[in-house]
Structure 1
Amino acid sequence: MAEVSAEARIEAPAAKVWAQLTDFTSYGRWNATHTGFPEGGPEPLETGATFTENMKLMGFPAEVAWTVEELEAERVLAIKGKGPMSVTVATRYSLTPADGATKVRIDGEFTGAAVSLMAGKLKDSATAALDESLRRLAGLVT
């Protein structure tokens, strides 16, 4: 298993950050690993909704079939998916209001046999992508 996380304070209210985070039509403007939604994002966005995302991590393209596992408006979006080579991916976005700004944390987890072969590189690449994603997200909402 490989676990990654990143956190940033974004100088915007949680409602504004949440609106951008859940606007799947503009996901590619901030999410550093996203390359497309072949059938669009989850519609409607609700627990149990499914969607497919094309991604690129460590230079490799991957398709992940996601399910929304937890959803609390302006607070939590947690998704879990199946990727290539039987890899399971989980991503959790947590928003915490902080004096007119928002603390945004992204936690990711990769599990599966293929992960153990490249856990170190995967952690480094995914952490860099999360940091870049938070930087871009902040730029869109501030």
Structure 2
Amino acid sequence: MAEVSAEARIEAPAEKVWAKLTDFSVYGEWNATHTSFPKGPPASLEVGGQFEENMKLMGFPAEVTWTVEDLADTRTLAIRGKGPMGVNVGTRYTLTADGDATTVRVDGEFTGAAVSLMAGKLKDSATAALNESLRKLAGLVT
């Protein structure tokens, strides 16, 4: 298993950050690993809902089928996906209001046999992507 996380304080209220985080029409503008939604972006988010995403991590393309596991408006979005080579991926966004700003934390995990072979590089690549994504997200909402 490889676990990664990143956190940033964004100078905008949680509602504004959440609106960008869940606006899939601009997902590629801030999410550093996103390349496309092969069947179109999710029309809405609901627990149990699924969508497919093409991603690139460590320079390799991957298609992931995501399922929404947890959803609490303006606070939490957790998705779990199945990718190539038996790799399972989990991502949790947690927003915490802090006055007129919001602390955004992203936690990710990768499991599966292929992960053990490249855990170190995967952690480094995914952590860099998370930090870049949070920087870009902040730029879109501030």
TM-score by length of 2: 0.99
| Aligned residue in 1 for 2:30 | 30
TM-score by length of 1: 0.99
Amino acid of the structure 1 residue aligned with 2:70: E
| Aligned residue in 1 for 2:41 | 41
Amino acid of the structure 2 residue aligned with 1:66: W
How far, CA to CA, are the matches of 1:90 and 1:99 in structure 2?
Answer: 29
Q: Percent identity between the aligned chains?
A: 77
Amino acid of the structure 1 residue aligned with 2:140: L
CA contact (8 A) 1:43 1:49 kept: no
- Pairwise CA RMSD of aligned residues? 0.5
Report runs of 4+ in structure 1 exceeding 3 Å deviation: none
| Unmatched tracts of structure 1, length 5 or more | none
| Aligned residue in 1 for 2:15 | 15
How far, CA to CA, are the matches of 1:54 and 1:63 in structure 2?
Answer: 4
Equivalent position SS for 2:25 = helix
Amino acid of the structure 1 residue aligned with 2:73: A
How far, CA to CA, are the matches of 1:50 and 1:42 in structure 2?
Answer: 8
How far, CA to CA, are the matches of 1:24 and 1:70 in structure 2?
Answer: 17
| Unmatched tracts of structure 2, length 5 or more | none
How far has the Cα of 1:102 moved from its partner?
0.1
Aligned residue pairs, count: 142
How far has the Cα of 1:44 moved from its partner?
2.1
